[in-house]
């Protein structure tokens, strides 16, 4: 228990008692074996890091940082402990692992990176055994360098706080396919969606009992309530579907719509399988790249996960805030919005928008210095009394490739 005692003392000294209790709960004496070796060697780094498209500066920093384990050898068991967590389906949650400050070691900020990187050979082996394209593996692991560079751009230091998110990649249910990442999920949004049996029109209803503001957003969005809000109704039987439809621009309609049940198939519903889409910050999201990713994802998941039946894609993101259309006409973001079915979501707020655009959700949006046209747009909207919010989008598998205003035109024809 020598190493654990050292870690115990360090965590007490630095007042990381919650981390200490967590490590106690997962600690195994076998990880203190001095003969256990990690994957963090010079040869390993020389071969791997370029495949992850890391900059030369970041590669050099990671190689220099290996001195962390030479100078503080009591940290070595953490590599094996983290690897064991990943192998057993767990995650390396950032707030549950030690923070090594600069006073303790100049490269202590890289500990989280090493905990993740040490697990990569097992992920590569999994892809090879499953006969999944190895390029998908290296592409999704680019998240490591993307997040490290993002933190460096805002704080002038390499630090990986997204270890929990990146841990998901090792479970084998999230894949980077071209420009986008895809994750197998079940739908728990308060919606019911139906596809017309004849012409393929999508009609999306809000569930019964939802409180909607007069602007068509859920009451409480951005912590703003509306005394003129209304409560939705929805019912379905063998004869009719009756309720409040969502306009594909992302607005719940106040009027009641009625459809004939026999003419529609129930596709979007609670616990329905779908592919959640994640958008790494790795370059342009041109329509060609987006469509190619969607098409390739359909082929890959139908072949590799035949038991995972799904009819649509979707995700919650600040990208799908319908207000962006008035500020960024003709942009790739807006082209994407115009090709999908937007839907408001409960408890939507501006946090993800600020985090993605400015690097932190905890900012003073009114006074922060803007350095890009997008940042200027985000700030100007708020300074003029507006609020940003994340939204959801739906895209039926059958409606790929994206077509401009496809769902909007369908709804207009329906009426």
Question: Are 337 and 301 contacting, i.e. CB atoms less than 8 angstroms apart?
Answer: no
**Tally of residues, the chain:** 415
Instruction: Give the residue ranges of the chain where pLDDT is below 70.
Output: 1-3, 34-35
pLDDT at residue 2, rounded to an integer = 62
pLDDT at residue 1, rounded to an integer = 53
b/e per residue, 242-265, with b = 16+ CB within 10 A?
bbbbbbbbbbbbeeeeebeeeebe
pLDDT at residue 359, rounded to an integer = 87
Q: How many CB atoms lie within 10 A of CB 79?
A: 22
State the chain's maximal CA–CA distance in angstroms: 73
Nearest to 137 by CA among 49, 42, 51, 39: 51
Considering the entire predicted model, what is its pTM? Answer: 0.93
Question: Are 190 and 206 contacting, i.e. CB atoms less than 8 angstroms apart?
Answer: yes
Q: What percent of the chain has pLDDT over 90?
A: 89
Q: What is the pLDDT of residues 174-218, one digit of tens each?
A: 999 999 999 999 999 999 999 999 999 999 999 999 999 999 999
Sign of CA dihedral 200, 203, 207, 208: negative
Return d(Cα 253, Cα 274) in angstroms, integer. 25
- The residue to which tokens 């999201």 are assigned: 285
**Strands of 164-226, DSSP E:** 174-177, 180-186, 191-196, 202-206, 211-212
Is the preceding omega at residue 81 within 30 degrees of 0, hence cis?
no
Return d(Cα 254, Cα 246) in angstroms, integer. 9
Return d(Cα 94, Cα 14) in angstroms, integer. 16
Task: Using alpha carbons only, give the angle 132, 135, 137 rounded to the nearest 5 degrees.
Answer: 70
Nearest to 233 by CA among 261, 204, 209: 209
Rounded to 5, what percent of the chain is helix, strand, coil?
Answer: 45, 15, 40
Alpha-carbon Rg of the chain, whole angstroms? 24
Return d(Cα 233, Cα 207) in angstroms, integer. 7
Q: Which domains, from first to last, does the chain contain?
A: 2-172 (no CATH), 282-405 (3.40.630.120)
CA atoms within 13 A on the CB side of 268: 27
């Amino acid at each position: 228990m020598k190493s654990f005692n050292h870690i115990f003392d360090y965590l007490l000294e630095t007042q990381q008692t919650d981390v200490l209790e967590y490590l106690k709960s997962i600690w195994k004496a076998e990880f203190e074996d001095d003969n256990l070796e990690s994957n963090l060697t010079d040869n390993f780094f020389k071969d791997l890091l370029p495949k992850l498209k890391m900059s030369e500066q970041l590669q050099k920093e990671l190689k220099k940082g290996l001195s962390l384990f030479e100078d503080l050898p009591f940290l070595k068991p953490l590599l094996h402990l983290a690897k064991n967590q990943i192998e057993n389906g767990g995650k390396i949650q950032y707030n549950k692992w030690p923070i090594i400050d600069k006073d303790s070691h100049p490269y202590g900020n890289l500990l989280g990176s090493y905990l993740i990187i040490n697990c990569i050979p097992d992920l590569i082996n999994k892809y090879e055994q499953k006969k999944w394209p190895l390029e998908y593996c290296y592409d999704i692991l680019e998240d490591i360098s993307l997040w490290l560079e993002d933190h460096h751009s805002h704080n002038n230091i390499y630090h990986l706080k997204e270890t929990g998110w990146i841990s998901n990649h090792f479970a084998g249910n999230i894949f980077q396919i071209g420009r986008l990442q895809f994750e197998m999920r079940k739908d728990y949004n308060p919606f019911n969606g139906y596809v017309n049996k004849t012409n393929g029109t999508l009609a999306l209803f809000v569930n019964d009992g939802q409180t909607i503001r007069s602007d068509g957003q859920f009451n409480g969005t951005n912590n703003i309530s509306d005394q003129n809000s209304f409560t939705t109704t929805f019912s379905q039987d063998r004869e009719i579907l009756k309720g409040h439809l969502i306009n594909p621009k992302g607005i719940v309609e106040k009027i009641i719509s009625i459809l004939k049940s026999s003419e529609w198939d129930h596709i979007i519903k609670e616990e329905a399988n779908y592919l959640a889409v994640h958008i790494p910050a790795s370059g342009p999201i041109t329509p060609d790249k987006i469509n190619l990713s969607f098409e390739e994802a359909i082929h890959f998941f139908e072949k590799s996960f035949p038991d995972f039946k799904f009819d649509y894609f979707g995700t919650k993101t600040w990208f799908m805030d319908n207000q962006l259309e008035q500020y960024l006409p003709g942009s790739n973001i807006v082209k994407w919005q115009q090709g999908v079915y937007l839907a408001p979501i409960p408890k939507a707020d501006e946090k993800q928008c600020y985090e993605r655009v400015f690097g932190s959700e905890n900012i003073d949006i009114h006074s922060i210095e803007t350095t890009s046209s997008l940042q200027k747009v985000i700030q100007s909207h708020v300074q003029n009394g507006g609020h940003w919010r994340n939204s959801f989008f739906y895209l039926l598998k059958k409606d790929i490739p994206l077509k401009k205003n496809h769902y909007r035109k369908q709804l207009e024809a329906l009426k």
